[in-house]
């Protein structure tokens, strides 16, 4: 199976794809925008089965039937919805069963053989994987955005930055201490971002958080990271649905 920088982020979060043999099933399906409905998937899978059955030899038909059963059962468990399309991959002898949400519609198709990854490559080229840093002055959460999924990467806790409300002669000194602690915390975040970027998996960086912390993070970034900045997201690090919120914001950004 081809292994290059374009597909590396996919393999990072779906590592079993690397184990696929030359007798695997690849399926691409449209997804209902209204929500999960297994009947719709049964119809789509049935249409693909009928469309491709005569194109496959006996062994390939057997693989198709076995893997379509496994994918159908997996769909009922995972209940994917809210994305334009899905890719499904199955290869029972090596333990592969994977569903991948896609950010763009794609032609419904089925193939038995080496994994069919060209449609995913095209979508990765159109929407390059991104690293998302959600920060405040003390904490940070890093996420990876790959295709139509957002994956948590790391959570960082820095030293406390006390809000200086007192006046008097000590105020400037206290403010300097707070600024230095903020700088130290954000520099640690930048070190982790730099380490992630060195893998070659990400081509864009999004930053979210309060404007003051966000602006300072971007100011401290070395030029190679600054060149990767792709925009701001409005999600708060305190959000209880942060991962979901980030995905929704990226979907909106793609539509504009």
pLDDT one-digit tens code per residue, 32-90: 767 888 888 999 999 999 999 999 999 999 999 999 999 999 999 998 888 899 999 99
> Which neighbouring-strand residues pair with 131?
144, 205
Q: CA-to-CA distance for 132 and 205, rounded, in angstroms?
A: 6
Domains of the chain from N-terminus onward: 8-125 (3.30.960.10), 130-255 (3.30.420.60)
In the predicted model, is pLDDT for residue 163 greater than 90? no
Q: CA neighbours within 13 Å on the CB side: how many for 147?
A: 28
In the predicted model, is pLDDT for residue 216 greater than 70? yes
pLDDT of residue 3: 46
Q: What is the pTM of this model?
A: 0.87
Exposed / middle / buried, residue 243 (Cβ in 10 Å: 0-12, 13-18, 19+): middle
92: its two tokens: 């029972």
The winner for highest mean pLDDT among 200-204, 225-229, 239-243 is 225-229
Between 94 and 253, name the one with better pLDDT. Answer: 94
Residue 84 backbone class (left: φ over 0; alpha: ψ -120 to 50; beta: rest): alpha
In the predicted model, is pLDDT for residue 212 greater than 70? yes
Q: Are 24 and 66 in contact (CB under 8 A)?
A: no
For the chain, the average pLDDT equals: 90
């Amino acid at each position: 199976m081809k292994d290059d920088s374009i597909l590396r982020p996919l393999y990072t979060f779906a590592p079993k794809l690397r184990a696929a043999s030359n007798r695997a099933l690849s399926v691409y399906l449209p997804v209902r925008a209204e929500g999960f409905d297994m009947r719709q998937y049964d119809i789509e899978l049935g249409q693909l089965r009928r469309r491709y059955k005569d194109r496959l030899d006996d062994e390939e038909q057997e693989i198709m039937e076995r893997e379509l059963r496994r994918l159908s059962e997996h769909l009922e468990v995972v209940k994917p919805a809210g994305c334009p399309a899905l890719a499904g991959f199955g290869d029972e002898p090596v333990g592969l069963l994977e569903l991948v949400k896609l950010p763009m519609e794609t032609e419904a198709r089925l193939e038995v053989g080496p994994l069919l990854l060209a449609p995913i490559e095209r979508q990765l080229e159109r929407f390059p994987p991104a690293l998302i840093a959600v920060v405040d002055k003390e904490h940070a959460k890093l996420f990876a955005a790959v295709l139509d999924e957002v994956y948590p990467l790391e959570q960082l806790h820095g030293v406390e930055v006390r809000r200086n409300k007192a006046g008097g002669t000590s105020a400037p000194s206290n403010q300097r201490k707070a600024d230095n602690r903020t700088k130290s915390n954000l520099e640690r975040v930048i070190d982790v971002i730099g380490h992630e970027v060195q893998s070659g998996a990400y081509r864009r960086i999004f930053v979210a958080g309060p404007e003051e912390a966000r602006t300072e993070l971007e100011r401290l970034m070395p030029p190679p990271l600054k060149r990767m900045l792709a925009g701001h997201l409005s999600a708060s690090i305190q959000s209880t649905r942060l991962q979901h919120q980030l995905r929704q914001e990226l979907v909106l950004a793609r539509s504009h």
